[in-house]
Structure 1
């Protein structure tokens, strides 16, 4: 037998069958055997293969028993007395045709010595991977070559021909492994049932098509042919189909192409274009049977390379309604046939020819007699060869000499909805060369307007949006028109739109109050919001409900005299600002104490100052009455009115406030006397203490 290195054979077949190995290498169980069968009229041929390398090793060690039973019989009967095994190395040397590459490949898969890798893997895991790769290559060679060659399948012990059959009689077949030292240990294949009918004729490969390319043709055939065929041969005829030559020495296996595509493809490289040839495809099944050739398809390589396109393209407005296009020709291609001048209405538009036949190579200019008036005309010149391949030049624009702008847009109207969407519309311009409009916006009529849209608006309407959470209720728009030469029109009249009011006005702030026995004088700083239309004065006596005392229609009003009060009680006040949308905002309420006609005497000599430590406020007063009573200390700031702060025992005439308020520059204090019968004195005169806390 000729010595063939295993690595060389692996490389020979690997390029064709690598993708198939991803399926045959799958780690199936050791006892996994796959059986198929096919009738040939006077016989039935069985073919099988192990599902994994370990399963193959068991087949080599034990051999295979082929069993059959006829319809109606319960018992499977063996067809071979001795287990069927692969040929030994000696048998390969003495009985096989070593010129057959498939025979040599399976012999090397069985007995060849693997060539060490150029980059051997190290360590226990690396050695295991090296071993796995070697076993996978051997197994791949065996499986693929058994499918491609009957002698190879016989040499592996993976084929059996049953000639002892009766025509039309159904049979069931299976194969199994039998442990010679443990007969009960059996691994069996699937069972196949078929009758010894006439030989099944393979159909040809169908849906074959050809795509012509430059110095190539690409053959394509439908992938569903793989349901019948394992591999394909490609043949070519240059004498009109009288004889064919095979193009691929090794058949194309159906697992090597992109399995996401619905088509197989095979590219034939050609030395020259325009030399017709016929092509056909022959399918092979797993029994190495060859189907009839497919219908032939005819084709040739074609020239797909267009000449170099024109350069230095220029357009000139001749001033009489015509455009002149000129260019230069850098092409030296021998098959260059001429030029085609085209025009479009936009840079990326559809360019249409301006003449029926290509212009000769000697003509390097063209006059467009009918360009589109008052609009840009985009031109490109194509170079064309004798095979009608074309290549486009750069695009140039031909502009009319137009310095007249469109008229001022009129009829600008708009609306702002409840969520801030804005719709603008105006009357469309009547100029034939009008290109579109630009929209501008401002939040003040006398301030700069900014363009809303970066692109030209080609309709006479525009959608915009604005926030409603703003105190600025008015927004302003104006538009202008531009023509195709971008001449701008005058601005339209300014459109004023009012936003729906969603923001309540700023709250008023109390600044001062004076309380007497029958009246309270209130002063405040009004809301700064310009849309306030009313101010409401509300009063609450004790724990009663709030009552409206007055509605002031002057938004600037800043004082109110409440003459309907009772003396000797606490009353709360608040001011509510109301805007033209009915939105309201309340001030912080204040609490005042009204006087009494029978007022008890108040404290005397009330004074306040910072203590010697500078960390607390010291309050002092005098009071002649010694009956049981309580002093009420009130405190406030520059921003907040006096509020009840502390209760002091009636025997005391001093109070130290060590809880001064950070951030306040001063504190205001007052003292009131609370008698056992619940009556109160008037508040003392307030004392303001400037803070300079250390």
Structure 2
């Protein structure tokens, strides 16, 4: 832990000193450094600089990437914007390395190694050999030393020349960054990449790349990165690519979204024996979509095939921003597929004596070698959709019998190419002679509301040639049902309105189905509805009552209507905002009830009503008002006790009750020789209270409930 703290302090001081040194060095003229490449020295832990006024408005940031191998560290850096790109090429960079850790030992002071100062692009005469071998090296050399980048600068207008110069800079910057990404050797030649081959295993390094451009030209932040040599991992292999074969062409595709942080582009390799592969991409291929979605990381590469008979094998391998090539992917293979140049044509479609379809077609014999067979497609509608009902793998077949038909039949035939191509013929129609009626519909529900509105619903028929339905109604079981509407109904739900003046209580509905040949089904099973009942039942009346020790006994005369469904006995307290409570609902001949839940000291209203089978309620009668005498013993708390408080001369009085209609509690108190008098009145929700006591006195407490109805309970007494 002590070493870790020491390391963190060292890194912090290192960064502070580097920042100060960068600002100080950039502000003064460039002088030749005393240290040389690969020379080690201690890092200054503090730097003093003078306060200077910042007059530079051009600023940029340097970003850095690393790649760790077993014996080297590769560095790649780039500017976020074109600003300062020319200055960096002119003045170069200082590349430094600080050794932070050796084996398992943190160094008290990191060791400085100046890898290069200044690190600048190689002279133009040294680029020729690499540029002939590497197109990206040629592009980078052109951006560094070329006179112009195809920008028109013939206009003598000064403003136009400034715009053209800006465009030229942006093109040089963009192309140079692309070239460095695609060729690390070119990046090193152009001083935008560096490979450190002096590293050792189990060491930890701090790299710093510092632009040497003067600050009066442009201010560019240095780039830092920490490298742990023991974190080297081999590059991952890509997963299996996608491939599509067509006529003399193979298209390889791959989505490298999950490898985008590792690989920049990919090479494609091909083989004809699955063992010996050759690279067929001169330059690595990549996706050029600027979007950052998963689909934008998909690339495609097309390979022209010599023939469609040879099996070709393909695999890919990734290329990093440091020109490192990863392991190869799994192999995909296939053959080119010859295009089918002709279409089949249905020449005949007739019905035989078994109501089966006999189909005949034509197809060019020359194309038989290019197909696997034929598919017969069927639909009941001209526009489809069509479904394959028979597959024929005999390329010489020219006739087929289809046994299962519908009333309306549309046929096509498809030639199934070996390359996956499908050539389909024009449609041909065949009509069955239909004399079979649809099945009778199945009624699901028939509902009528209090206004006489009927909703009739039935299950849809499955016949494919169904035209619709007709609905019929009858007022009784004797008369002939009649059709409600002349038009054919296309839906499976209708609405009907019953006349309130109708005498019959029961109405009957039927549904009939029709097909497109006007064949009519049998009637459905009848659906019965009851005409709306708008007359409420007769009101029951109380006959007598009696208040006993068991409760309130009530006796009444039931409603005698034929459609009465039940009687409901109700009760409510004679208080404001009280609601009716259902005591009993009876569907038999019971005509009396004892209310055992009525409490002494309260006043209640009782009422009784009847409901018929339609849900109608009887008219309300005058309620029966009864007052019950009080019984104070019933209204007592269930528990009353005192608990000493050890923190002082106090006692906590606690009480319990299950009643929820308590308005308040009255507490009485007496001590010594004094009489017990009213002491406190607390809310009905409280269940305890504290009181100060003296140890040399005797105390007596009493409590009683006062109900919301005004009833007062009996006392509970406590002495100690």
TM-score (norm 2): 0.52
Range with bigger deviation, 137-146 or 325-334: 325-334
1:169-318 paired onto structure 2 within 5 Å: 169-180=203-214, 187-195=221-229, 201-223=234-256, 224-244=258-278, 246-256=279-289, 259-261=293-295, 263-303=298-338, 305=340, 307-314=342-349, 316-318=350-352
* Structure 1 portions without partners, runs of 5+: 1-27, 503-581, 583-694
1:98-497 paired onto structure 2 within 5 Å: 98-114=132-148, 116=150, 130-180=164-214, 187-195=221-229, 201-223=234-256, 224-244=258-278, 246-256=279-289, 259-261=293-295, 263-303=298-338, 305=340, 307-314=342-349, 316-329=350-363, 333-335=367-369, 339-341=374-376, 347-348=384-385, 350-353=387-390, 357-358=393-394, 360-361=396-397, 363=398, 365-368=399-402, 370-372=403-405, 375-384=407-416, 390-403=422-435, 414-417=446-449, 423-425=455-457, 435=466, 437-439=468-470, 449=485, 451=487, 453-454=489-490, 462-464=492-494, 480-483=512-515, 485-488=517-520
Report how far residue 401 of structure 1 moved.
Answer: 2.0
Contact kept, 8 Å, 1:306 with 1:385, in 2: the verdict is: no
Contact kept, 8 Å, 2:95 with 2:117, in 1: the verdict is: no
Residue 260 of structure 2 aligns to a residue in which SS? helix
Contact kept, 8 Å, 1:36 with 1:192, in 2: the verdict is: no
Report how far residue 173 of structure 1 moved.
Answer: 0.7
Report how far residue 304 of structure 1 moved.
Answer: 5.7
Range with bigger deviation, 127-136 or 265-274: 127-136
Contact kept, 8 Å, 2:346 with 2:360, in 1: the verdict is: no
Report how far residue 479 of structure 1 moved.
Answer: 5.2
**In structure 2, do the counterparts of structure 1 residues 479 and 331 end up closer, same or farther at CA, with 3 Å as the change threshold?**
farther
Report how far residue 131 of structure 1 moved.
Answer: 4.6
Contact kept, 8 Å, 2:472 with 2:482, in 1: the verdict is: no
Residue 57 of structure 1 aligns to a residue in which SS? helix
**In structure 2, do the counterparts of structure 1 residues 130 and 276 end up closer, same or farther at CA, with 3 Å as the change threshold?**
farther
* Structure 2 portions without partners, runs of 5+: 1-56, 101-106, 474-480, 535-615, 617-720
Where does residue 603 of structure 1 map in the other structure? none
**In structure 2, do the counterparts of structure 1 residues 80 and 335 end up closer, same or farther at CA, with 3 Å as the change threshold?**
closer
| Count of aligned pairs | 460
Report how far residue 172 of structure 1 moved.
Answer: 0.8
Report how far residue 260 of structure 1 moved.
Answer: 3.2
Q: Which of these two proteins has the greater Rg computed from alpha carbons? A: 1
Report how far residue 301 of structure 1 moved.
Answer: 1.4
Q: 1:56 aligns with which of 53, 66, 85?
A: 85
TM-score (norm 1): 0.54
Distance, in Å, in 1 between the alignment partners of 2:463 and 2:117 is 98
Report how far residue 281 of structure 1 moved.
Answer: 1.4
Residue 387 of structure 2 aligns to a residue in which SS? coil
Distance, in Å, in 2 between the alignment partners of 1:401 and 1:183 is 94
Report how far residue 137 of structure 1 moved.
Answer: 2.3
**In structure 2, do the counterparts of structure 1 residues 492 and 214 end up closer, same or farther at CA, with 3 Å as the change threshold?**
same
Report how far residue 52 of structure 1 moved.
Answer: 1.6
Residue 308 of structure 2 aligns to a residue in which SS? coil
Deviation string, structure 1 residues 645-670 (Cα, Å, up to 9, x no partner):
xxxxxxxxxxxxxxxxxxxxxxxxxx
**In structure 2, do the counterparts of structure 1 residues 404 and 297 end up closer, same or farther at CA, with 3 Å as the change threshold?**
closer
1:575-654 paired onto structure 2 within 5 Å: none
Contact kept, 8 Å, 2:247 with 2:336, in 1: the verdict is: yes
Report how far residue 249 of structure 1 moved.
Answer: 1.9
**In structure 2, do the counterparts of structure 1 residues 400 and 226 end up closer, same or farther at CA, with 3 Å as the change threshold?**
same
Deviation string, structure 1 residues 59-109 (Cα, Å, up to 9, x no partner):
22432111222213556735146322223445546x865553222211111
**In structure 2, do the counterparts of structure 1 residues 407 and 201 end up closer, same or farther at CA, with 3 Å as the change threshold?**
closer
Residue 195 of structure 2 aligns to a residue in which SS? strand
**In structure 2, do the counterparts of structure 1 residues 83 and 238 end up closer, same or farther at CA, with 3 Å as the change threshold?**
same
